[in-house]
Amino acid sequence: MRNAWSGHTFPHPAGRRRWMKDASSMDPDRPVQYILEHHRHLGPIFEIVVFGQKFVFVTDAELAAELNDESRFAKANSPALDGLRGIAGDGLFTAYNEEPNWQLAHDLLVPAFTKQAMQRYHPVMAETLDELFTVWDAGTGRVDASADMTRLTLETIGRTGFSQAFGSFTTTELHPFVEGMVTALTIGRRKGVIGALPAAKLLERRLDRQHAEQLDYVNRFLDDIVVARRRAPTSGGDDLLGIMLDQAHPETGARLSDENIRYQILTFLVAGHETTSGALSFALYYLVRHPEALAKVQAETDAILGPDPDATPSYEQVARFRYIRKVLDEALRLWPTAPGYARTPRETTTLGGRWTMTPGDWALVFLPLVQRDPAVWGETADAFDPDRPRPPRLASTAKPFGTGERACIGRQFAVHEATMALARILHRYDVTGDPAYELRIDERLTLMPQGMELTLSRRTPGLSAPGGAAPGGMPRPRSRPPGHRAVPKPSY
Ligand code: MNH
């Protein structure tokens, strides 16, 4: 058995079978939601065993706080992460702690997320958002929120990090890279599940063969990004790609190999957009359901951005959207779009004063429950309330960006991008949802609301009432505010 915990058995779902173990007590297509629906009561620590692999889940804040202690524990690669090694190799996210390329890439890329770097990305983020608005203004006013947030965030990380556009706003088609990437991720997830089976290697090779064409396309696409930059090295010299291609480690002089750079590009394109897109979508989901919160958001945008719906915040202004930041934090508390991370002890230790944990054993900090622990968040833990007081106890267990030295490197990037996007969207539009919509969540590696249609109408900042409808297009403000642009033809 993998992850054996010295043979200890934790509480587990009822109906465990001799051979199949807990296979019928999980849903491989929606594992997180299945746990929330059926296994919540098994906490604060429980196990699910499938295919010779034990998964241990920690669901309360007290145990999570212990696992977050960097002096005793470190990141572990869960089977889900290891399943991605085929495409992401020793890239930052999937590298093992002791692999030299982790420290090397970390040291080289931390400067790509400093304040100065973020100031360089800011205008690109703002411009990308403007392109989304151009499309929205020309459209019907009905949008698929998650699809459009995904367009926005993919385009943003592609352009800021790699000077690579994906044409997300000029065509309805998904860029073939996106499809290839999703296939690669799906294969990775399946590999993660079958990893402990005797026939795993065979099954893995078959999966790769079945999807060889798409996987080849993804690799060629990534290599082309590198080739194009080497040919024209002047564009974006200090973005992620420029740093990876040009810079040597200041102390050791070491450089990233071409293979590792390919892994990093894929890692950043994937890690840098799905989670942020999900966070934006969940925030919008809650805002259309909480008119009082939405009104506060809009009041804040009006106070900071003023009456011009085209006003773009400066870099410094983004940090002033304090209430929007709370909305984002609260959405990520309830639906952490990266729903967990795994921790392993540095030396043999006892977890919770009871369970022996040996190096190699690991537990998942299962964020959707840890961040709703009533012991920390009270009886209203499941409710959306951006104004809830920061709990005095164990507040640091709300960690949607992970913990320790392997925590998210893109946190500031994500928060800056998402805060500005929410501010500008809600400053510019009145947004309503379908009251009948019930939250459906798509689970890939990340959590993402699915099929959530929103209706947008142009808004006159300063007034909270929606603007009047204009015939044949989406509703527009009655008076054209200064700086309002001509509306181009729909492009998708
Ligand atoms: Mn991100 C690691 C969540 C946005 C790039 N990210 C992590 C981890 C979590 C996480 C959790 C730790 C995983 C683990 O311990 O196994 N990340 C998020 C969330 C958002 C997010 C919830 C948005 C919201 N992440 C981003 C963005 C980028 C990015 C944006 C890039 C621009 N994240 C990474 C990388 C890592 C990471 C790279 C791996 C860091 C490391 O191990 O050194």
Between the CA of 273 and the centroid of ligand 1 the distance, in Å, is: 10
Per-residue pLDDT of the chain (492 residues; tens, 9 = 90+): 999 999 999 999 999 999 899 999 999 889 999 999 999 999 899 999 998 899 999 999 999 999 999 999 999 999 989 989 988 999 999 999 999 999 999 999 999 999 999 999 999 999 999 999 999 999 999 999 999 999 999 999 999 999 999 999 988 777 888 888 888 888 887 777 776 677 778 888 888 888 888 888 999 999 999 999 999 877 667 899 999 999 999 999 999 999 999 999 999 999 999 999 999 999 999 999 999 999 999 999 999 999 999 999 999 999 999 999 999 999 999 999 999 999 999 999 999 999 999 999 999 999 999 999 999 999 999 999 999 988 776 657 789 999 999 999 999 999 999 999 999 999 999 999 999 999 999 998 899 999 999 999 999 998 654 443 333 446 555 444 444 443 333 333
Between the CA of 290 and the centroid of ligand 1 the distance, in Å, is: 28
The predicted pLDDT at position 394 comes to 63
The predicted pLDDT at position 214 comes to 85
Atom of ligand 1 nearest to the CA of 102: 43
Domain assignment of residue 111, yes or no: no
Domain assignment of residue 39, yes or no: yes
- Hey, whose CA ends up nearest to atom 7 of ligand 1? 408
The predicted pLDDT at position 475 comes to 56
Q: Cβ(225) to ligand 1 under 6 A?
A: no
The predicted pLDDT at position 465 comes to 45
Q: Cβ(410) to ligand 1 under 6 A?
A: yes
- Hey, whose CA ends up nearest to atom 10 of ligand 1? 401
Buried b / exposed e across 53-66, counting CB within 10 Å, b at 16+?
bbbbbbbbbbbbbb
Domain assignment of residue 67, yes or no: yes
Q: Cβ(275) to ligand 1 under 6 A?
A: yes
Instruction: In whole angstroms, give the CA distance from residue 224 to residue 177.
Output: 12
Q: Cβ(159) to ligand 1 under 6 A?
A: no
Domain assignment of residue 329, yes or no: no
- Hey, whose CA ends up nearest to atom 37 of ligand 1? 408
The per-residue DSSP string of 21-66 comes to BTGGG--TTSHHHHHHHHTGGGTTEEEEEETTEEEEEE-SHHHHHH
Pocket test for ligand 1, best of 82, 256, 371, 408 (most atoms within 8 A of CB): 408
The predicted pLDDT at position 183 comes to 85
CATH of the domain at 19: 3.30.43.20
Q: Cβ(406) to ligand 1 under 6 A?
A: yes
Angle, alpha carbons 266-251-260 (nearest 5°): 20
Q: Cβ(331) to ligand 1 under 6 A?
A: no
Atom of ligand 1 nearest to the CA of 77: 16
Q: Cβ(448) to ligand 1 under 6 A?
A: no
Domain assignment of residue 27, yes or no: yes
Atom of ligand 1 nearest to the CA of 105: 43
Q: Cβ(402) to ligand 1 under 6 A?
A: yes
Instruction: In whole angstroms, give the CA distance from residue 55 to residue 400.
Output: 20
Q: Cβ(413) to ligand 1 under 6 A?
A: yes
Q: Cβ(441) to ligand 1 under 6 A?
A: no
Between the CA of 274 and the centroid of ligand 1 the distance, in Å, is: 10
- Report DSSP state, residue 345: E
For helices 200-210 and 176-194, what crossing angle results, to 10°?
170
Beta pairing, strands 340-345 & 363-366: antiparallel
Atom of ligand 1 nearest to the CA of 414: 30
Domain assignment of residue 255, yes or no: no
Whether the CB-CB separation of 372 and 15 falls below 8 Å is answered with no
Between the CA of 279 and the centroid of ligand 1 the distance, in Å, is: 13
Instruction: In whole angstroms, give the CA distance from residue 301 to residue 425.
Output: 10
The predicted pLDDT at position 395 comes to 59
Half-sphere exposure of 419 (CA within 13 A, CB side): 25
Find where tokens 């929205």 sit: 136
Between the CA of 441 and the centroid of ligand 1 the distance, in Å, is: 20
The predicted pLDDT at position 480 comes to 43
Helix or strand or coil: residue 344? strand
Instruction: Just list the catalytic residues.
Output: 275, 401, 408
- Beta-sheet strand order (sheet of 429-433): 142-144, 453-458, 429-433
Between the CA of 106 and the centroid of ligand 1 the distance, in Å, is: 12
Longest CA span, the chain: 71
Atom of ligand 1 nearest to the CA of 106: 43
Give me the residues paired with residue 442 across strands. 448
Q: Cβ(404) to ligand 1 under 6 A?
A: no
Buried b / exposed e across 476-491, counting CB within 10 Å, b at 16+?
bbeeebeeeeeeeeee
Between the CA of 19 and the centroid of ligand 1 the distance, in Å, is: 36
Helix or strand or coil: residue 68? coil
- Hey, whose CA ends up nearest to atom 2 of ligand 1? 408
The per-residue DSSP string of 381-442 comes to TTS--TTPPPPSSSGGG--TT--GGGS-TTHHHHHHHHHHHHHHHHHHEEEEE-TT----EE
Domain containing 71 equals: 5-88+336-395
The predicted pLDDT at position 182 comes to 83
Between the CA of 339 and the centroid of ligand 1 the distance, in Å, is: 11
Atom of ligand 1 nearest to the CA of 109: 38
- Hey, whose CA ends up nearest to atom 1 of ligand 1? 408
Domain assignment of residue 451, yes or no: no
H helical segments located in 83-144: 85-88, 100-109, 115-138
The torsion angles phi and psi of 391, rounded to 5 degrees, stand at -65, 135
Q: Cβ(44) to ligand 1 under 6 A?
A: no
Number of domains within the chain:
1
Between the CA of 413 and the centroid of ligand 1 the distance, in Å, is: 10
The predicted pLDDT at position 487 comes to 37
Domain assignment of residue 405, yes or no: no
